[in-house]
Amino acid sequence: MAGGPQTLGRYQLERVLGKGAMGIVYEALDPKLHRKVAIKTILISQLDEETAKDFSMRFVREAHAVARLNHPNIVQVYDFGEEGDIAYLVMEFIRGDELKSTLSTGRQFDRKECVRIMCELLDALDFAHEAGVIHRDIKPANVMLDGQGRAKLTDFGVARVTDSDRTHAERTQAGTVVGTPAYMSPEQIQGQGIDRRTDIFSAGVILYQFLTGQKPFTGEGAWTVAKKIIQDDPPMPSSINMALSPEFDRVVAKALAKSPDQRFATAREFSQALKRAAEGKPAIPEEEPTLVVPREARVQQPTHAPEALRSGEMELEFWRSIKDSDEANDFDLYVRQFPQGVYASLAARKAAKLRSGSPADDSGTRTMAGADRTRLQRSVPRAEAGESARATVEKTVKLADAPSPEPAAAGKRRSMLVPAILGVLVLSGTAAYFFVMKPSQQSAAQKVEAEAKAKRDAAEAAKAEAQAKRDAEVKAQREAEAKRDAEAQAKREAEAQAQRTAELKSKRDAEAQAKREAEAQAKREAEERAQREAKVQAQRDAESKAKLAAETSLWESVKSSRKAADVQKYLNRYPNGQYAEPARQRVLELESARLEEAAKKQKEGEKKKSTIIVPPTF
C-alpha cells in the first residue's frame, strides 16, 4: 500500500477497509496461520497522553472481553499490540457489510429474515451476558452481516466485565456515560447503574428500525433524543407498518420499557418472545402483561450526570451529533459531559450565542410584525360580529406589541400560545369588518342574491363532498377486500410452500438418517470382521510360536546325541522343520560313524582270528 505502513507486527497489510477520525481499519494477512484478518488501528501520537492511554486500555479491554466469548455470532479478536505510535487490534475478517450501511440504503428485510437476524444478535448477547460481559454500545454500526447474511456482533471496546476480573479503573467507572445517544437506555443516559437489560433496550431500538424503517427516538440534537428516551414512548410499530400484528407491538414495548424491571430479563427471553410473535402466537404470557398504550407524560427528575468518558472517539461522535443543532441545551450537555473536551469552549460560545440571539430569552417580549398582521388578516374567513370590530383590531395590535409580563423562562411556551390568541382576535376583528361594514354598503337585492348563491354553492359543495365520501368509502372497502384476498392467497401459498419445504426436508432428513445408519452398520461390520481376523491371526501366531518353541526344544535335546535314532525322531516329527537339513546331515554322520565302527570291529575280529596258534597234533 502506497503512503502507509506495509506491516504491523507479523501481519502484512493489504488494503484499507475504512477510515475514521481516530484511525484506519485494514485488511491484512497473518503469514503464520495463512488467514485473512482485519486490523483496527489508532494513531496514538496524535492524541494527548490521557486519551492515548484510554484507547490502549480500550483495545486491551476488547481483547480480554472477546477472549472469553467463542460464539459463531461474535467477531473474534485474535491479538492486540502497539508498534511505534500505532496501537492495533487484530480481529476476525468478515466479508460483508455493517447493518448500519444496509439499513441506510433503504433495503427492506422480509419478516422472516428480520426475525432471524435479530435472534442471532440476541443469541450472541445472551452468550456474552452469561459470560459476564455487557456490551454497552449495541447499534447497527456494531453488527456485521457476512456473505451469508449472518449477524456478527463486534466492537466490545466499551464492554464492561461484570465479574471479579475487572480492574480497579473499571470498577470506578460505574457511573460513566458510554454508548451512542440514539441507542442508549434511560439508565445509561442518566449515568445510573447498568446490567444486561441495557443491551436489551438497545437491541429493541434495532428491532424497531427493522420493523418500521425508522428510529423510535429522533430529534434535532442529542439533548432532544435523550429527553425522548427518558420521557416519551415511541409510536407503536403497527401504526407505521400496518402489516405488523399487535404481538410485535408487545415485544417492542417490553424491550423499550423505561424501567429495566419491566423489560425482558434476558436476551434469550427476548428472542423467544420475538419468535412466538413471528409464528402468530402470543408473544408475552398472560401472567406478564405489557401495556403498549402511551403512558402519561413523566415529570423529568433532575439528574446529575457524572463526568463522561474522556475518550476522543466518544467525544467526537457526540460533537458530530450536536454541532449543527439550534438548541443551546445540546451544547450545555456537551460541556457537562466533556468539561475538558476539545470543543468545550466552542460549545460554551455556541450556547451563549444561541441564547443571546433568542428574543424570548433576553427580554421576555413578543412582537407581531406588520407583515404578520397583514397575513393573518388576509387569511381569515368571514364571520358575524358586532359594531366594535375596529376597536377589537386596535386592541389586538396593541396587545401584540406589548411586552410580556411573564418571566423569560416561560417565553418559549408562551411564544406559541400568544400568537394563537392574537390570531383569533385579529381574525374575528377582520372578519367583522368585512361582514358588517362592507355588506352595509350593498343594496338589499344584491345581498339577497349573494346569500342565495352562497346557499346554492354550499348545497352543491355538500352534495359533492358526500358523493366523494361515499366513493372514497367504496374504494377503501374494495381495496381492503383486495388486500385481504391478496394476503389470504399469499398466506395459502406460503403455507403450501412451507409444507413442500417441510416434506422435502423430512425426506432429505430420512435419507440422510438411512445413509448414516447404513454407514454406521457397515463400519460396525468392518470393525467386527477386523477383530475376528485379528483374533485368528493372533491365534495362528501363538500356535506357530508354540510349535517353533517345541521344535527348537526337541532339536536342542537330540542334536548332541550319538544315536541316529534320536535325531531321526526329530525328522519324523518335523520333516520340513527349520532344523530338518542339519538333522539329516547329523543322521548321515552318525550312520557313517556307526558303519565305520562296525567295519573296524570286524577287521579287529578277523585279525585276532588269524593269529591264533594251533598246537601240532601227533
Q: Give the mean pLDDT of the chain.
A: 76
**49-67 and 312-322 helices, crossing angle to 10°:** 100
The neighbour count for residue 128, using CB atoms within 10 Å, is: 25
Instruction: Determine which of 41-50, 427-436, 494-503 has the lowest per-residue pLDDT on average.
Output: 427-436
Domain limits, the chain: 7-92, 96-166+174-295, 369-441, 546-594
Instruction: Give the residue, 43 or 253, on which the prediction is more confident.
Output: 253
CA nearest neighbour of 155 among 130, 176, 183: 183
For the cut 60, the answer to whether the pLDDT of residue 374 exceeds it is: no
Rounded average pLDDT over 340-363: 71
pLDDT exceeds 80 at position 493? yes
All cell numbers assigned to 541: 501366531
Which residues partner with 40 through β-bridges? Answer: 25, 89
**What is the pLDDT at residue 55?**
73
pLDDT, position 392: 40
Q: How confident is the model at residue 328 (pLDDT cuts 50, 70, 90)?
A: confident
**Domain 7-92 classified CATH 3.30.200.20?**
yes
Label the pairing between strands 133-134 and 143-146. unpaired
- Annotated catalytic sites, by residue? 137
Is the CB of residue 381 less than 8 Å from the CB of residue 431? Answer: yes
Give Cα 494 to chain centroid, integer Å.
28
CB 571 within 8 A of CB 580: yes
Q: Who has greater pLDDT, 52 or 363?
A: 52
pLDDT category of residue 314 using cuts at 50, 70 and 90: low
Split at pLDDT 50, 70, 90, the class of 325 is confident
Q: How many beta carbons lie within 10 A of that of residue 336, not counting itself?
A: 15
Q: Which of 4-18, 28-42, 262-276, 445-459 has the lowest mean pLDDT?
A: 445-459
In total, the chain counts a number of residues equal to 618
Residue 106: its pLDDT value, please?
Answer: 80
Q: How far apart are CA 57 and CA 50, in angstroms?
A: 11
Q: Which fold has domain 96-166+174-295?
A: Transferase(Phosphotransferase); domain 1 (1.10.510)
Give me the mean pLDDT over the 364-382 stretch: 37
pLDDT greater at residue 607 or residue 177: 607
Confidence of residue 611 (pLDDT cuts 50, 70, 90): low
Q: How confident is the model at residue 461 (pLDDT cuts 50, 70, 90)?
A: confident
Provide the pLDDT for residue 157: 59
Rounded mean pLDDT, 583-612: 82
Q: Which residues pair with residue 217 across a beta bridge? A: none
Pick from 375-389, 428-442, 469-483, 580-594: least confident: 375-389
Would you give the DSSP letter of residue 258? S
User: Mean pLDDT across the stretch 410-422?
Assistant: 39
- Quick one: pLDDT at residue 293? 40
pLDDT band at 527 (very low <50, low <70, confident <90, very high): very high
Cell of 111: 419478516
Q: Can you read off the three cell numbers belonging to residue 231?
A: 420521557
* HSE of 87, CA atoms in CB hemisphere, 13 A: 18
Q: How far is CA 117 from the centre of its chain?
A: 8
Sheet strands (E) in 507-564 = none
pLDDT in tens, 64-104: 777 778 899 999 989 888 888 888 889 999 998 899 988 88
Q: Is the pLDDT of residue 109 over 50?
A: yes
pLDDT (tens digit, 9 = 90+) per residue, 127-174? 999 988 898 899 999 999 998 999 999 887 555 544 433 433 333 344
Contact 22, 44 (CB under 8 A): no
